[in-house]
Each structure stands twice: as structure tokens, then as C-alpha cells.
Structure 1
Amino acid sequence: MASQNEKATPTGDVPEMSRTGSKGSWDEKAESVLVTAEMENDLQMLDSDYDEEVAAVASQMTEEELQSMIEMIVEEHGQDPNFPAAVIEKATRYLRDSTLKADPTEYAKVHEELRLQAALMYTNSAYPEVRAVVDNHDDPSMPVATFRAWFIGMIFVAIEAFINQFFYLRQPGIQITYNVVQVLAFPAGKLLEAILPTWKFNTFGYTWTLNPGHFNLKEHMLITIMANVGYSTPYTNDIVIVQHIDRFFNQAWASNFGYQFLVGISTNLIGYGLAGLTRRFLVYPSYAIWPQNLATIALSKAFHAGKNETANGWRISRMRYFLICFCGMFVYFWFPNYIFQALSYFNWITWIAPDNITLAAVTGSVTGLGLNPLPTFDWNQVVVVADPLINPFFTMANIFLGAVVTLPIILGLWFGNVWYTAYLPINSNGVFDNTGARYNVSLAVNSEALFDEASYEAYSPAYLATGNLLLYGAFFALYTASLSHAFLYHRREISMGFRKLIKGTSHVSATDRDVHTRLMSVYKEVPEWWYFSVLCVAIGLGAAGLGAYPTSTTPAVVLYGVFLALIFCVPFGIIMSITNVQLTLNVLAEFLGGLWFSGNATAVNYFKGYGYVTTAHTLSFAQDLKLAHYVHIAPRVTFMAQLFATVVSTLVCVGILNFQMTQIPEVCSPTQPDHFTCPGTNTFFTAAVLWGTLGPRRMFGAGAIYNGLLWCFLIGAVLPFPFYFLGKKYKTFERFHVPVFLYGALLWAPYSLANIWSAMPIAYFFNVFVKKRYLAWWSKYNYLTTTSFTSAIALSAIVMFFALQWPGVVISWSGNDRPFAGCDGNACPLLPIPDQGYFGPGPGQFH
């Protein structure tokens, strides 16, 4: 292998294929590697993709090696929706079309194109999205775990944890995401580069310095990884608040800091441990491209770009392009978010007849279904369901199709008054009683917040709006569909990963076909037992927290939740790494927890925490591991960075939570003078009582009103099979992805068609039209466009919050008030409540 202290490459004298086969120099092969217009358009290749490394591998590749690579393309990527379809088509034709060799000219053309594709796949990524932002070289001597990287990273982790937890209980709230830290980390790093001394120290035989010189990309990405770990508050904080506050469960002992930290750190670290154990499935395979990571890397590369290549005539640098987009969106976002909110909710059709119930329900975008050809001018509304520039177009198309197909179902249920839905708003995520008011859980429980049968029967069953019912049905179908889909489409990869895991086969190899795996082989890998130890310790901490305190919850809840996460983390992770769609277990965890721990809201909350949240954390940590894999950060450095950032973030969040619960007077009260009214916690409490105290049997059990929705589990399990076989026969169905299609049905309540339809023209323009015709421009600027917009919106929202919303400055005029007036803003039901004062069975008529 070429010296990794030089500009390390995956080629040179590395591959066996380079030592055999035909001889030939770069000059002799130069003509054969010219990228034609057809290759650029159909195969998504650029002139810059082919260099001397590709030429060397292509010229020395034997026919046997080429045949093996072509077979690999068909077998491993034949159903990969991100892999260039034209390459799969040519490879399939080369292997299976017996008439191809009858045309020597066409055969030679296909043969040469596949040879170049095979060489490119070996020296770089097969995916143009990855090649656009990820380098296929590495310099292992580049400083990464420097003092300034750790210092900046930990400071930002503490700051974002403090702000996100402190303002979580306030209305309106505020959140700092990793995008903001990623932008601010660069000037912070350059500042320390300029002011820190270059003194050298020797600690336990290790020589280090405060200032190793240029603030580099790897340091920047390490800080970003820490920030991504640290910005989310522990899910258990909601559980603790609900336990402690007197207007909820009034358990004063829940203010114990040790208890809060044990359960908080446990849920975070379990996800971390599971992520490490899923690396063979979610990190090392080349098909796991994790599109969100590509946008993250593109942003950092804008700050560290060393050259400014021309892209379809555009010479503007990445940094300048980012700043122009960032500044433009920073200023513009003030209008849809604060000054002229009609630009955000452009429900102009409802303005024709504001009090028309049907018009508002069908076309409204505040509480309606959003059937509006021009629904918004707010980028934040466009990307809230799926980012059209980051997500592959097939993902956007499947999400949109799922929304379109389910819209008439919602209308049919609502206009047909199925399950009394016509008495409720069409697209609300609230829970209602039989008078159409929000469900008052205090009327169904006793003074100790435990379920009271007599009070419940004297009050009302719980009812869901039509959009929310469709969402629950889609969730039920999605869980089983994801397992069926994983079996049909990814059983080969999953079984191979398990075999390697059981045998203890090395994760990375210097002879691996994937260039980034080969580059990472020079670094020491994190042993499996490190992650397994973290997982065991986290389980022990969680069990100790539940068992040592009067939670009325068995410590076995931790194991139940982890078992649920183990079932779904690999299928969900594979789907997310390919499609950029994150599936969640929140509904299934609530459903199963309510069945297993009926009447115990706290136990259900913890089952949800250890089942749903640990899966979400697993995928988040795995995504960061892939990010480190792409930018070639040593795995052990990433391990320590994620671990310490998690601990610091948890300590800060728990400390702030403890202060808020014990020192802020009347916290979570609707009349709290400083607006710490806990909007999210109130919603959490309602869900806890509905699923834990009332339990899912009263809504979905035998004889219950929504029992029919349980058929969706079976529908979801069966649905992938016909489309799998149709895809093998008809190309039309090759890009149909059942879990992503069902994910499109999850946008309802509270979002609408307006939030995905507005993204579709943008998705097509950038990821189909521009990508196919102007690939160089797309490669340079596409991901940078969306990351600059997202970062600007985040920082602009922070400035608006502290400058105007915190002091209570409100602009009241037609441009701000009109979108929320009339039936769209007021969520009008189709039918009025009957004269008897309620709909459905009355008191004493339901059980």
C-alpha cells in the first residue's frame, strides 16, 4: 500500500487486480477514459471522476476481475434505488443478453463503459452523490483529536444542551441544532488557530500541542459529531417532569438528581451501544450512503475547500455561494416566520370563503388537508416532511404518492362520519371527548392519577380525528411492512452481516472493494466488546434507576424495550441509510407498553423510552459513525467523542431540569408568569394517561371503536410481496418502496399535502433535471444550497426569538392574521354536536 502519511490513495500498488492483466500506460489509455455526453447523462459520471488512478486500475483489470465486478453490480445493487439505473441496465444486458455479442461495436462500447465503471467503483464511490462531497483520499497524519477540537466541541455541547433544555419548557420554545454549531465552529476554530500558543507537552509519553496549525476538516467534523450527539435532551426528562409536578402525578421524590441522571444516561447510552453493534449493517456497506451526511460534509467542505473548480461555467467558490445563500435566507425568513406569515401558510383558496367548512378542510394548510397548487413560500414548510435537495427523488416520489393515495381515504371517512369523525376537525393530532372538546384526562382518573372506571364511564371515550386515525393505521402497517421489506430486499446483506458478527470477522480490510473501508483499515478499530460493555452498563444503570426508586415499574422494562429496539434497528437503519427516511417506534412502543403494563402510565412511559427512543438514538449514532467513516476519522476517536459528549449533554440537561422543577415557581402551570407552561410536557402527559392509564384496549381492543385498524398490521406485512415480484417483472415498480410509501401517509395530523407537494417541483428540478444535465453544478452546489438555507433559518429563528418573541412583540395585521382565521384556522368540524350535547354512546353506554 502507498504510504498513508503521503496522500493516501486506494490505488497505486494496492489492489491485486493492478498486478495482473494487460499492461498499458496512462497515455496509451487516455482516449478510452474520455467521458462522453452519454456517460455523463446516463451513468452520472464527470471528467473529474476519471483520473490516473482510475486509468491505472482499468488498464490492469483482468477479464475475470471485470466479470466479477459486473456480477457484483447486478447481484448486490440490482435493487438498489440509489445506484445509477443505467449502469445496472448495462450490466444486466452484458450478462444476460445473448444478442449483444452479435454486434461487436455495441459490445465493445458496453464492455469499455463497464470496465471504467468497475474501475471507478474500486477507486471511488459508485454513487455520484457520495463522489460529489466525499474524498477518496486520506491523510492519517492530519490532526483530529486536538485540544481545540475537544474544547470547542464540549463547550458547544454544553451550550446547546443548556439552551435546548431550558427553553423546552417555555412557550414558545427554542432549539439549537447541530447545523448551527457546525457553522459557528469554523470561526471558533480559526480563532483558536490564531491565538493559541504552539507549545508542546508530553503526557504519559504522548506529545501534543495546543495549536497544531491549520484548523482542518476532520477537526471541524469531530466537533459536528459531538454537537449532533449533544443537542437532543434526554427523553426521560419528560417522564420525570410528569412524575414530579403536582398538577400531574405529584411524586416529589422524582426531583432526586441521581434518579434523573441514571435513567437519562441509560436511554442515551443504550442507543450508542446498539449503534456500535450494527456497524456491519449500517456503516461499512457502500449501499448505506446516509444522504443527510452528504449535506453535512458539503457544508464543512465549503469552509475548507482548497480549490475552486469550474462547474458548468460557474466559478463562484463554495464558501461564497454558501454565504450568499445563507445571508439571503437569513433575511428572507423574517417575512414568512414573523412579518408576513401568510407566506408560510399561503392558504389563499380559503380566503375566498373563510367560513366554508368543506373548502377549509380540503384546501386549508393550517388544519386542512392542503390540496393547494401554491401552498407556501417558506423553505421551512417545504422541508418539514422531507428535504427535496437531500432526499433521493425516488424517496420524494414515494412519500408524495403515499400522501396522495391516502388523502381521498381521509375525505371518505370524514364525509361518511365513520367512527364519528365528522364531529371532529379533519386533520388534528389532538385527542377529543364526545363533546368535540380536547380530552380532559383528569375526568377519567382519581386523585392519584390512576384510572377510575366510574369516572371514565361518566365522562367519555377518547376519540381521534380522521387524519390521526389514518396516521395510526399507517404506523401499524409500516412496522410489519418494514420487516417484510427488509427480508425481501436486504436478507442477503443482513444474513452476511450476522455471519460476520458471529464469526468476529474484521470490519475493515485493506483489500475491500469499498474505497472508504480500505482507507479506514489503517486505523485501529473499536472492538465489539467496547460497545457491548457500554450497552450492558447502560442497561444496568437503567435497571438501577427504576429499581432503586419508587417508580412502580419493573426493571425488566429496560430489557423489554431493548429487545424491541433490537428487532427494528437494523431494518429501520437500512431503510434510513438508503432513503433518508427515519421510521420511529413511538406508536408501537405506546401500543405494546399499554397492553403489557395496562393502568401503569409510568411503566408505559419507560417502555416507550427504552423501545422507541433507544432505536432513534441507535440510528442517530450510526449515522454519525458513517459520517466519521466518510471523512476518515479514527474509529476510537469517534467512540470517545460520542461517549463524552453524551455524558456531558446528559449532565447539563438533567441539572437544568432539576433547577426548573425545584426553583421556578408554578412551572408547567398555564398561568406561569415567565411562560414556562410546558406545552410539550402537557401533550406527553395526555399521551401517558391515554396509553398507560386508559390503555389501548379501550381504543383498539376487541369491541372497541378503532379495533378495525388492527388489520393494518396484516396489510403491512403482505403489501411488500406483490410489489417485490412486480418489480422483478416490470421496471415501473422497481423504485416503488412500500415503507417509504407508507411513511408518506404519516404526514397527516398535523401536516398536510401542502408540505410535500411544495417540495416535489424543487426535488424534480434539482435531483432529476439539474443532476442529469448539469452534474458538475449539482455536485458542487446542490447540498450546499439546502444546508445554507437550513443553517440560516436556525440562526434567524434564534435572533427573532430573543429580539422579538421573548419580549412579547407581536405584529397584528392581515398578512399575519388571515391564514389563521375562518375554518382553516379554527379547525371546524363537518357536523355540529347533537342537541343532546354529545355524540356516540352516552354515559353508562360504553365500557
Structure 2
Amino acid sequence: MADHATGKSPIIEEPGVQTPAPEALPKLPDYSTDEVVTKVEHDLIITGDDLAKVQQTAQGLSLEETREVLRDVIQNHENDQNFPIEVLQSMKEFVANDDIIDNPEKYEALIAEMRVEAALIKDDSAYPEVRAVVNNTDDPTLPCSTIRAWTIGIIYVSAGVLINQLFYIRQPSITLEANVAQLLAYPAGKAWEAWVPSWEFKLFGQTHNLNPGKFNKKEHMLITIMANVGFTTPYTTDIILSQFLPQYFNQKYASHFSYQILITLGTNFIGYGIAGLTRQFLVYPAHCVWPSSLVTIALNQSFHTETDLPVPGPFQRIYSTTRLKLFTLAFFGMFLYFWFPGYIFQALSFFSWLSWIAPDNLNLATITGMNNGLGVNPLSTFDWNVLTFDTGSSPLVLPFFFWWNAFVGIVIGAFVVMGLWYTNTYNTGYLPINTPRVFDHFADYYNVSRAIDHRGIFDATKYEAYSPPFLSAGYATVYLFFFAIYSCVLTWTFLYHRHEIWTGLKNLFRRGQDNVLHPDVHNRLMAKYPECPEWWYLLVLVASIGVSLGGVLGWPTYTSAGVVFFGIALCLIFVVPVGIINAITGFEITLNVLAEFIGGAWNQGNALGMNYFKAFGYVTCSHTLRFSKDLKLAHYSKIPPRHTFAGQMIATLVASFVAVSILNFQMTQIPGVCTATQKDHYTCPGINQFFTAAVMWGTVGPKKVFGSGGTYTALLVGFPIGVVVPLAVYFARKYFPTQRWLRDIHPPALFYGGIYYAPYNMSYLWPGVVVSYFSHIWLKTRHTAFWAKYNYVVSAAFSSGVAIAAIVIFFALQMQHVGVDWWGNNVVAQGCEDTPCVRHVLGEGEYFGPRMGEFH
């Protein structure tokens, strides 16, 4: 019988696997006993249909086989917050108690539960989130790499990156996400299926068909993966525009197409080379779930699942609505609703109702304000877009322990911010409390041109006649938490994930079918398809290094080849620790601050050198994680690895050339681009911030800011704090192993909450805690089948509805400068929520901080 929640087909026994005869094994306890069924379903968060499906496999497991499977589970999931602790404790009891082998009749309930869990590990996933949307069967006959998929994919990649690149520098900007391509690919594929003739021909010795039949889920997912990698605006856009334009570095060679394409291809493809080498750590292991990928799979399943049976749910009702119908209703419902918080009634989005009471009250706005304050507000938004402000962080997707840890972190951060601001530490009382901008000692935005020469190199004389840089209280707190999170990640992964890392290292050097070394069902199913050899990825890595060096060394960038290799080294140090945390919890720890810090110190006085270090450190790691997530997406969807490799490579190649072509148009054909008066609003707010950061951390350099005698040297205490906190949690767990709340503490997520400040605040994060509790704690445990069938579909529908509505609003109204002028839109920007308030105001001719001549 098909799974009511997922529509899965019955498990097909794999060839070559000999199942012992059931009569030769100890009798399995009767699953019809209500007590046993209830306990198993509750502890494992498993639906009745999933439980029924694994009975046969469980009956075929001997006690010793069960113990062997569970020993491996304990080793791999000992510190996995996604794995139920009650089940883990039962497993330990089962494995450690030899009396179970001698007297199995005394432990019938425990044996029943453990056999089911072992069967789940063998034939499905231990995680209900994965079982909810990922099939544990495969149909190898489904065509994937078809002319239809390639044509639709390349067209959508070209159109998507064109729009994203064109509007990247506009204010307001617009960004198309891959879910838009996933939505539009379905009608395009069905239209092709209906209208294109079935014409066969041979190419390179293989037979191809223009219309291979029904548009299927593998073709659909391959198109989506192409869009995932192809829609991204290249990071080199910021570097090239800041180089070329006269108001920045005014380096005219940056207009050379060959220079642009070399550094773009280099930074885009280096991530592939490293992603392929990290498959043993981030793709094949079953505990690497990549939660945000489950939404993409759920949306795909909604379009292609034929069996969609009723499930019991809230209010003691049976719900027969299909997932496709629910997606359609939720999508159009959110599409219509988003017009209110997104355009008509924007106060619903920034519901800073406490500050409306007295908009000019400094303390009230500072504590409760959502625009310019700390956002301490129990009811802060009615906008789904605000809840998902951190890319991929839907509260219906990421586990609850992430949200409450991040919330604790942001609360701690609030006290740090208030402490700095109200005591005027670092002269923060003269500045807005929560802004990512950098200021001079006149409380004006820092004018970097007053500290550099005509080449963009640091000028000590001009700097000493001007001002040191100053940070707001919120921005200083962000740096403190960033420093802590970097040392925390390394410490945490050593303490709790060194076994997985060591296993990955051993498997990396073993011969044979790599993914079979990980024995879960998805790896066994994928073993049917030829894997991409490691040397393919190594070749991509070497080629990427080559074109990167050609770009850096072939033009007067005043930068050494070392930036490429040191940046890659930084990525290699952090990519597995950061990737494991991302794959398990769903949030990404970016290396941008660390890359600025190290790159600026290494390239002292050279902003461009720091930019390249940042590109090859931070961007390489970020791309590697994105590509690894897509490899897992293909892994779950049973797309042949070589098709995935080709899709990623070709989509990125096409996107790189399209993006660079549009970039040249922006640079040369848009009059006054990146100036405050540009008539079409191509004012480049992101480029302005990028240029300021480049000069701040590259030209002025972190040594003057954080080094010995620097203004913010004390913030480096974050590094030892990041070591101490995970160690404290580790030893607390050792001494109090049964305390569940200790198991749920996740220091990287806790520190992650603190980096949300400047410009975000508590108002953005708190609603996600509430929604996640409702989904992952209340609904999943009480109505598991209902949650499994609908949760991820609703998340995909809401995000897609917001994306499409935002596009329509942008092109139809905002580009035409059509607005709605009324209280519901204006109240969000009154008093201190419009112009940030400060505690201290300078008098005429005054300035704060070190006196002239006292800083160097």
C-alpha cells in the first residue's frame, strides 16, 4: 500500500540482498497491540503507513543484525539534535544489555521498537522530515537528461540571471529565486509534452527524442538544479564595478571583457571543484539532510505525485486535499495576501506598533523599533517575507532547536548592544544604535576618498587629517559574535563531528563506488548510476585556479597570486565544519568577515587585494555549500550524478557569460550609473557598501581597527568565547547526560543569532520561533501524517507566492513610481523609525574620539 503521507511506492527488495527466513528468527512482537503501536509511532514520529511498510523488513532482522545497525546509528547520531533522544537512549539500553539476547521475551516492546528503527535506517530515513518528501524507491527508466530539460533549463537560466544582474544595482532591487523557475518549468514541460512532435534522431551514436513522453520529476528537478546555480549574480560584479567607475577606483582596464570573464569563471567554478571533493562529508552521509532542499523536493512531488491519499489531522478530521491542490490554494492565497504587507498596507510587514505610541520617544523607539531599534516586540509582523528574511530559513523547514538557540543568541546580543550604546562605549552614543554603516568622528558616514590616494591605496597623511572609522553599537556586536562563531565552529565540529569527518577522510581515499560506503537506502539506489570521478572535480578546480590567476596577474591589479591560494586555503579549513552544520541545521555561517579580517591584514593598504582574498575565501566556500546542497538534492531525487555535473557546469557557464554581458551594458550604456541622481534608480546601494567595506578593511585595514591599540581590539575576546562556550556545553553534557535541554543547546546557532543585528533585529527572528514551534513540535508530534503530507508544500507555496507577487508589484507599480500614500504605509517611518535617533549630539565644530594627531 502506498504511504498516505508521501505517496511512496512499496519498497522494492534490492538484488543480491538475502533476507533470512522469518521463522528462523525470534518472533517479532505483535504490532497490533495498541500500546506498542502508539509508543513506536510517538517515539519515532512515524506514520501508521510507514510503520506498516517496515514490518516485513523488521521481521527479517535478527537481534544481532539489529544491534549492529544500531551501534552505527548511536555512533553517527549521538550528538544529532534532529534525532530523538528518547530513541537514542533506548538504543543504548538495547545494545548494552546482553540479557536481551538470552531472554528476548522479557523485552518485547523494546525489541519491537528497535527492529523498526533499524529497518527504517536500512530501507528509509531515520528523519521524519526526509520520509515526508523523499521517496525511498527509484525508477531508473525515467528519462532525465533530455533535450526538453536542457532547452527549458538553459532558457530559464539565461532569463533569470539576465533579470537578476540587470536589477541587482537598482534600488529597489529585484531577485528571482530558483523556485520561480521550478514553478514555470512545469507548464513549459507539459506544453512541450503536448505540442512538440515525437521525433527521434541520432547524435554522437545515441538516440534522442524531441518529445520522450510525459514530463517527469527528474527532468523537472534537473531544470531546478540548473536554475539554483545559474540564477546567482556573480560576486565579481561588485569588484568590477567598484574598479571601473570614476567615483570609486577608476581603473579603466576593468572594462575589458576578457578580464571580466576570467575572474568571473574563476570564482564561479572553484566552488565546484571543492564541492566534488566534499561529497563524502556533505552529500553521502544520511545525517546531512540539507533541510531547505526538502522544500524544493516537496514542490516537485506536488506536481508529479499520482498517489495522494487522505490523512488524519487536526480537529479529528480526515484531510483528502491533494498536495498539488493545497499548493495551488496556498500559492494564490499568499500571492493575493502579499499585496497588503508588500504594497497596500506596509505596516503589516513592519508592525512596530509599540513605537507608534510615541514615535519621537528615544528609549521606546530604540528598544522596540523595527526599522532602527532592537525590535523587542512580541507581535512584530504579519508578513511571510519577513519570517524568511534569512535565505532558506523558513520556520516550517529549519528545526526548532535552531530557532530557539538563535533567539537566545539575539537576546544576549540585545543586552550587549544596549550596554555599548547606553554607556557610550566606543562613542556609540553619538551614532544610530543598529546600523551597518561606518562613520567618521563627526558622526557622518565615513568618506573613504579622504583616506586614499588616486590609486586607491591608503594615504597615511590624509587619514591622519581626517578620522578613524567608527562602528555603531549593533555593528560592533555583530563583529563580536562573528569572531566567536568562527572559533566556535571549529571547536564544536571537533568535539561533536570528528567521527563523521574522520569517516569522510577514510572514505575519500577508498576505491570503488563512493556512495556505497554509506549504507543508507538512498546511497544504495544511487549506486545504479555511474558516479563522477574525483579527477573531474580536480580538473575543474585546477582550471578555475588557472583562469583566476590569468585575471589577477594579467592586468595591473596590484595583487599577488597568493590571494587565490590563501583564499582557497581558508575555504578548505572551514568548508567541512561549516558545511556539516549547514547540512544538519540548515543555516550557513558565511566567511565574509573572517575573509575581510585576514585578507585586509595580509593585503595591508590594498583594497583590491583584500577583495580578491575575500572572493576566493568567502565566495568559494559559499558556492561550495550551494553546489553541495544541489548535489544532495539530486541525490534525493535519484538524478544520475553525471547529469547533475553536466547541468551545474553548463548552467554556470551560460550564466557567467550572460551576467558579464549585462554587466558591460550597465557599465557603458546606463548614464550616471551608481550615482545618487541616476534617473532610473540604478544607484547601486550594494556597490556603495561594498566599496566602503573594501577601503575600510583593505585600505585602512583591520590592524588599525582591531590590532594592538586599535579602537575595537577588545572585541577580539569573541575568539576565546567561541572556544569556551562549546567546551562548557560538552562537559555539561558529560556530567548530566540525561538532561534533554542540554542536548538541544547548539552554540553555533546561538552565536548565529547575535550576528543578525545591523540591520536586522529581534522582530525578524522571534516570529520564526513561534511558527517553528507550531510546526515542528506541536503539529509534527500530534498529527504526524498531516504534517508529513502538507508542511513542506505549504512552505514552498508561501515562498513562491511571495516571490511572484513581489515581481508583479515591482514591474507593474514600483518601476512606474506608483505608490499608496496613507497612514498604513507612512506610519512605519515616523519619528526615530524614519531618521535614527542618537543619545548624544555633537555641537558645532566638535568631534568625538581621539584628538587629531593622536591616531595613526
TM-score range, shorter chain: over 0.9
- The alignment of Structure 1 onto Structure 2 pairs a total of residues equal to 839
Give how far 1:305 is off: 1.4
Give how far 1:500 is off: 1.7
Whether the 8 Å contact between 2:456 and 2:606 is mirrored in structure 1 is no
Aligned twin of 2:400: 393
Give how far 1:21 is off: 6.3
Q: Aligned partners of 1:380, 1:533: CA distance in 2, in Å?
A: 40
AA aligned opposite 1:343: L
Structure 1 counterpart of 2:320, from 310, 315, 319 = 315
Give how far 1:457 is off: 1.5
Whether the 8 Å contact between 2:29 and 2:109 is mirrored in structure 1 is no
Matched, 1:495 2:502: yes
1:439-470 deviation per Cα after TM superposition (whole angstroms, max 9, x unaligned): 11112222333222222122111100111111
Aligned twin of 1:287: 287
AA aligned opposite 1:646: T
In structure 2, relative to structure 1, the CA distance for the partners of 1:19 and 1:682 (3 Å cut) is same
Q: Aligned partners of 1:576, 1:71: CA distance in 2, in Å?
A: 25
Whether the 8 Å contact between 1:8 and 1:138 is mirrored in structure 2 is no
Q: How does 1:126-205 map to 2 (within 5 A)?
A: 126-205=126-205
AA aligned opposite 1:271: G
Deviates more, 1:291-300 or 1:59-68: 59-68
In structure 2, relative to structure 1, the CA distance for the partners of 1:655 and 1:710 (3 Å cut) is same
In structure 2, relative to structure 1, the CA distance for the partners of 1:668 and 1:500 (3 Å cut) is same
Aligned twin of 1:37: 38
Whether the 8 Å contact between 1:20 and 1:61 is mirrored in structure 2 is no
Q: Aligned partners of 1:366, 1:441: CA distance in 2, in Å?
A: 26
Whether the 8 Å contact between 1:7 and 1:139 is mirrored in structure 2 is no
In structure 2, relative to structure 1, the CA distance for the partners of 1:729 and 1:27 (3 Å cut) is closer
AA aligned opposite 1:582: E
> Any idea what SS the aligned residue of 1:806 has?
helix
> Any idea what SS the aligned residue of 1:201 has?
strand
TM-score, normalized by length of structure 2? 0.95
> Any idea what SS the aligned residue of 1:241 has?
helix
Aligned twin of 1:265: 265
Q: Aligned partners of 2:486, 2:29: CA distance in 1, in Å?
A: 55
Pairwise CA RMSD: 2.1
> Any idea what SS the aligned residue of 1:759 has?
helix
Give how far 1:15 is off: 3.1
Give how far 1:30 is off: 6.8
1:626-656 deviation per Cα after TM superposition (whole angstroms, max 9, x unaligned): 0000010000000000000010000000010
Give how far 1:33 is off: 11
Whether the 8 Å contact between 2:63 and 2:101 is mirrored in structure 1 is no
> Any idea what SS the aligned residue of 1:508 has?
helix
> Any idea what SS the aligned residue of 1:461 has?
coil
Q: Aligned partners of 1:623, 1:710: CA distance in 2, in Å?
A: 32
1:452-499 deviation per Cα after TM superposition (whole angstroms, max 9, x unaligned): 222212211110011111110111111111011111111111011112
Whether the 8 Å contact between 1:42 and 1:772 is mirrored in structure 2 is no
Q: Aligned partners of 2:847, 2:29: CA distance in 1, in Å?
A: 85
Matched, 1:842 2:843: no
Aligned twin of 1:49: 50
Whether the 8 Å contact between 1:182 and 1:223 is mirrored in structure 2 is yes
Structure 1 counterpart of 2:729, from 699, 717, 723 = 723
Whether the 8 Å contact between 1:180 and 1:791 is mirrored in structure 2 is yes
TM-score, normalized by length of structure 1? 0.96
In structure 2, relative to structure 1, the CA distance for the partners of 1:50 and 1:43 (3 Å cut) is closer
Q: Aligned partners of 2:94, 2:26: CA distance in 1, in Å?
A: 27
Structure 2 counterpart of 1:686, from 685, 689, 692 = 692
Whether the 8 Å contact between 1:229 and 1:646 is mirrored in structure 2 is yes
Whether the 8 Å contact between 2:575 and 2:621 is mirrored in structure 1 is yes
Give how far 1:556 is off: 2.1
Aligned twin of 1:776: 785
Matched, 1:562 2:564: no
Deviates more, 1:712-721 or 1:461-470: 712-721
Give how far 1:39 is off: 2.1
1:503-535 deviation per Cα after TM superposition (whole angstroms, max 9, x unaligned): 3453122x8530000000000010000000000
Give how far 1:166 is off: 0.6
> Any idea what SS the aligned residue of 1:167 has?
helix
Q: Aligned partners of 1:574, 1:804: CA distance in 2, in Å?
A: 43
In structure 2, relative to structure 1, the CA distance for the partners of 1:205 and 1:30 (3 Å cut) is farther
Matched, 1:426 2:433: yes
In structure 2, relative to structure 1, the CA distance for the partners of 1:804 and 1:499 (3 Å cut) is same
Whether the 8 Å contact between 1:23 and 1:59 is mirrored in structure 2 is no
Q: Aligned partners of 2:59, 2:221: CA distance in 1, in Å?
A: 36
> Any idea what SS the aligned residue of 2:201 has?
strand
Give how far 1:673 is off: 1.6
In structure 2, relative to structure 1, the CA distance for the partners of 1:246 and 1:106 (3 Å cut) is farther
Aligned twin of 1:374: 379
Matched, 1:251 2:278: no
Structure 2 counterpart of 1:446, from 449, 453, 460 = 453
Q: How does 1:480-519 map to 2 (within 5 A)?
A: 480-504=487-511, 506-509=513-516, 513-519=519-525
Aligned twin of 1:351: 356
Give how far 1:23 is off: 4.5
Give how far 1:73 is off: 2.3
> Any idea what SS the aligned residue of 1:826 has?
coil
Q: Aligned partners of 2:9, 2:184: CA distance in 1, in Å?
A: 29
AA aligned opposite 2:321: I
In structure 2, relative to structure 1, the CA distance for the partners of 1:104 and 1:642 (3 Å cut) is closer
Q: How does 1:19-168 map to 2 (within 5 A)?
A: 19=20, 22-23=23-24, 31=32, 36-51=37-52, 54-96=54-96, 107-168=107-168
> Any idea what SS the aligned residue of 1:673 has?
coil
In structure 2, relative to structure 1, the CA distance for the partners of 1:813 and 1:82 (3 Å cut) is same
Q: Aligned partners of 1:179, 1:752: CA distance in 2, in Å?
A: 27
Whether the 8 Å contact between 1:344 and 1:378 is mirrored in structure 2 is yes
Q: Aligned partners of 1:522, 1:643: CA distance in 2, in Å?
A: 22
Aligned twin of 1:15: 17
In structure 2, relative to structure 1, the CA distance for the partners of 1:552 and 1:8 (3 Å cut) is farther
Structure 1 counterpart of 2:338, from 333, 342, 347 = 333
1:709-747 deviation per Cα after TM superposition (whole angstroms, max 9, x unaligned): 112112212321110121233322111111111101111
Whether the 8 Å contact between 1:35 and 1:46 is mirrored in structure 2 is no
> Any idea what SS the aligned residue of 1:625 has?
helix
> Any idea what SS the aligned residue of 1:265 has?
helix
Q: How does 1:657-668 map to 2 (within 5 A)?
A: 657-668=663-674
Give how far 1:19 is off: 3.4
Q: Aligned partners of 1:652, 1:493: CA distance in 2, in Å?
A: 40
Whether the 8 Å contact between 1:35 and 1:47 is mirrored in structure 2 is no
Whether the 8 Å contact between 1:7 and 1:138 is mirrored in structure 2 is no
Aligned twin of 1:644: 650
In structure 2, relative to structure 1, the CA distance for the partners of 1:12 and 1:697 (3 Å cut) is closer
Deviates more, 1:54-63 or 1:158-167: 54-63
Give how far 1:297 is off: 0.3
Whether the 8 Å contact between 2:395 and 2:768 is mirrored in structure 1 is yes
AA aligned opposite 1:521: A
Give how far 1:8 is off: 9.6
Aligned twin of 1:810: 819
Aligned twin of 2:594: 588
> Any idea what SS the aligned residue of 2:253 has?
helix
In structure 2, relative to structure 1, the CA distance for the partners of 1:592 and 1:175 (3 Å cut) is same
Aligned twin of 1:216: 216
Give how far 1:89 is off: 2.0
Aligned twin of 1:756: 765
Give how far 1:10 is off: 5.6
Whether the 8 Å contact between 1:460 and 1:842 is mirrored in structure 2 is no
AA aligned opposite 1:720: P
1:73-129 deviation per Cα after TM superposition (whole angstroms, max 9, x unaligned): 222212111112222121122234689899977621111110111112211111110
Aligned twin of 1:707: 713
Aligned twin of 1:3: none
1:238-259 deviation per Cα after TM superposition (whole angstroms, max 9, x unaligned): 1011111111111111100011
In structure 2, relative to structure 1, the CA distance for the partners of 1:12 and 1:543 (3 Å cut) is closer
Consecutive unaligned residues in structure 1, runs of 5 or more: 1-5
Whether the 8 Å contact between 1:290 and 1:580 is mirrored in structure 2 is yes
Q: Aligned partners of 1:580, 1:601: CA distance in 2, in Å?
A: 33
> Any idea what SS the aligned residue of 2:418 has?
helix
AA aligned opposite 1:474: F
AA aligned opposite 1:320: K
Deviates more, 1:405-414 or 1:631-640: 405-414
Aligned twin of 1:383: 388
Structure 1 counterpart of 2:809, from 791, 800, 813 = 800
